A and B are shown apart, each in its own frame.
Chain A
Amino acid sequence: MKQLIMKPLGDSALLIQFGERIGEDVNAKVQAAASYLDQHPFTGYVECIPSFTTLTVYYDLLKLGRPPGSGTASEYVCSIVTGLLQDMESISFSARKIVEIPVCYGGEYGPDLAYVAEINGRSEQDVVKIHTGQEFLIYALGFAPGFPYLGGVPESIAAPRKKTPRLSIPAGSVGIAGTQTGIYPLQTPGGWQIIGRTPLAIFQPEHHPPVLLESGQMIRFKSISSDEYDRLAGERK
């Protein structure tokens, strides 16, 4: 835990940078620090939000209860967080949970699978094979509730965004944009190339946690038939 850069984000948050570049090792430190702070909250701690290389720690200025003469609140929180992270024992890089995401590729659920295959000079089966052939690290959740920011898609199935975004993309749609892939948690407009759909609920506001995936986990897509999709979707109801 050396050389962390800590900068105030206004008067009620502190941003901690764990590295310069996006990488699995830097993100592992971010995730470890996030869960450590959630488990060992200091007085006045509100929450923290992990991202690719940074962790933002939010606090309540009125509840910090800092001793007089301890400088600014952000300096005080800096020193507390530094202390806490030093207490944090060695960071585990292993034992990432792998979550399998069943996806029905192509057809009505994946209207752009043919396009993604065509611009890459491959068959649709190849695209599915490549998409299901690796694990993706969830670097962060953001953009929409439970939306996973995933590690790189191989160039061999990359595809540009649609020039005109669709007005409505169903929840559970799996898309590709450039070398990014992701799952739409909500029905929203969107410009990603949609290659399939999962019957799983990514955002489940009535559950705790309210999202299926958590940052720091790995996901692996698995190809399923439309019958299987219907069966799994039926189980949800």
Chain B
Amino acid sequence: MSLEVMKKGLLATVQDTGRKGYGKFGISCSGVMDTYAYRLANWLVGNKGDEAVLEITWSGFAVRFLQDAWVSITGADLAPECEGISVPMWRPIFFLEGSELVFKYPRSGCRSYLSILGGIDVPEVMGSRSTYLRAGIGGFNGRALQTGDTIPIVKKAPYDFPKRRSDDRPFRAVLWSAAPASTYGRADTLLRVTRGRQYEDFRNEAIERFFDDEYMVKAESDRMGYRLSGPPLTLESPKEYISEGVTAGTIQVPADGQPIILMADRQTLGGYPKIAQVASVDIPWVAQLPPGSRIRFQEISPYESERLFLEQERKMKLLKRMIDYRIKEEFNAADRPEL
């Protein structure tokens, strides 16, 4: 059971929920950038939700299925195509052996997720299958996927979906979808943030501009961090800070005053002052911002940040139940215990 990489594209890696518990050793978390799209991708093929998937960035990636496969594509719309036919997203799709899936160009968003029934089968390193590019560990041989790679798939899927063969098409998609609201992956986004630990150290004008003006995503943004450009954020008085633990969504401001939002491949410690922290619910949105996107920040209370997260999780739980139900209905897999 495997997939063959036909074209490596800009950047494609194997990722899961990331490496937890190794931060004290200086080991980055890694894992998927957009946890929302990732979980849906897994649920839509009947996986538990924490299986390894492919994270495909921007454009040019192509993969061939070396056997029949149930897959799902979520996240950014990178114009997926199979033999010239547009492939729908956010739903289960059955691909016939030998068919080739191409991610042509970005229509909206930045990162697509390709899940497969059973998950990508690479060895766990420190409890995770995520690729940690900088350290060269995890994922597929510790590196980004290259043209010609054969990526193994977990052989024993939790159950078998019936095959959907048809004479005229290389794939068959179900008619329903779990597509999110149309605002998903939009390039102008309002990010909700709470105050960072050194918020008070910034000048009042800097704080005002941070919340009133727009910031643009720079091309140097990557899995480590999103670099922004906009009105410089200056401190009341320059100061040396002692490095301390950071997390996904931490907004650090180096000496040039241009903020950086830390993401999945961030280092464990950061030594720059932290002006704000992106609410957990909004981090998947950051992950889908292509360079040139414009963003604004809105302050919310820590309580509100928690409430938004818990509310979203309640909705996700409902969504999972609905997806499970539709899958069961679709495939009549009544004996599947998780459903």
B: contact size bracket: 35 or more
Q: With an 8 A cutoff between CB atoms, is A209 at the interface?
A: yes
A61-B306, A142-B26, A145-B26 in contact; A203/B135 too (CB < 8 A)? Answer: yes
CB distance from B264 to the nearest CB of A (A): 14
B194 touches A8 (CB 8 A): yes
B268 touches A10 (CB 8 A): no
Q: With an 8 A cutoff between CB atoms, is A56 at the interface?
A: yes
- Please measure, in the bound complex, the distance between the C-alpha atom of A48 and the C-alpha atom of B134, giving whole angstroms: 22
CB-contacts of A2-34 with B (<8 A): 7-13, 15, 22, 34
Q: With an 8 A cutoff between CB atoms, is A144 at the interface?
A: yes
Q: With an 8 A cutoff between CB atoms, is A177 at the interface?
A: no
- Please measure, in the bound complex, the distance between the C-alpha atom of A34 and the C-alpha atom of B245, giving whole angstroms: 13
Total contacting residues, chain A, CB less than 8 A: 45
Flag B282-319 by CB within 8 Å of A: 1 or 0 each. 00000000000000000000110110011001000000
Q: Which of B16-24, B83-91, B111-119, B226-234 contacts A (4 or more CB under 8 A)?
A: B16-24
B26 touches A10 (CB 8 A): no
CB-contacts of A191-237 with B (<8 A): 203, 205, 209-211, 214-215
Q: With an 8 A cutoff between CB atoms, is B250 at the interface?
A: yes
Q: With an 8 A cutoff between CB atoms, is B208 at the interface?
A: no
A205 touches B125 (CB 8 A): yes
B267 touches A72 (CB 8 A): no
**How many pairs of residues, A versus B, come closer than 8 Å at their CB atoms?**
131
A46 touches B21 (CB 8 A): yes
CB-nearest residue of chain B to A46: B20
CB-contacts of B93-126 with A (<8 A): 125-126
Which B residues lie within 8 Å of A141 (CB)? Answer: 24-26, 268
Q: With an 8 A cutoff between CB atoms, is A186 at the interface?
A: yes
- Among B23, B267, B303, the residue within 8 A (CB) of A58 is B23
Which A residues lie within 8 Å of B20 (CB)? Answer: 46-47
CB distance from A39 to the nearest CB of B (A): 13
Q: With an 8 A cutoff between CB atoms, is A136 at the interface?
A: no
Flag B17-45 by CB within 8 Å of A: 1 or 0 each. 00011111111100000000000000000
Give A residues with C-beta under 8 Å from B.
7-13, 15, 22, 34, 46-56, 58, 61-62, 72-74, 140-147, 149, 185-186, 203, 205, 209-211, 214-215
CB-defined A-B contacts under 8 Å, sample of 27: A8-B302, A10-B279, A11-B194, A12-B280, A15-B197, A15-B244, A22-B242, A46-B20, A47-B22, A47-B23, A48-B23, A51-B269, A52-B244, A56-B247, A58-B247, A61-B280, A72-B306, A140-B243, A142-B26, A144-B134, A144-B267, A145-B25, A145-B135, A146-B27, A205-B126, A211-B27, A214-B25
Cβ-closest 9 pairs across A and B: A56-B245, A142-B269, A10-B277, A141-B26, A49-B245, A49-B23, A54-B244, A11-B305, A211-B25
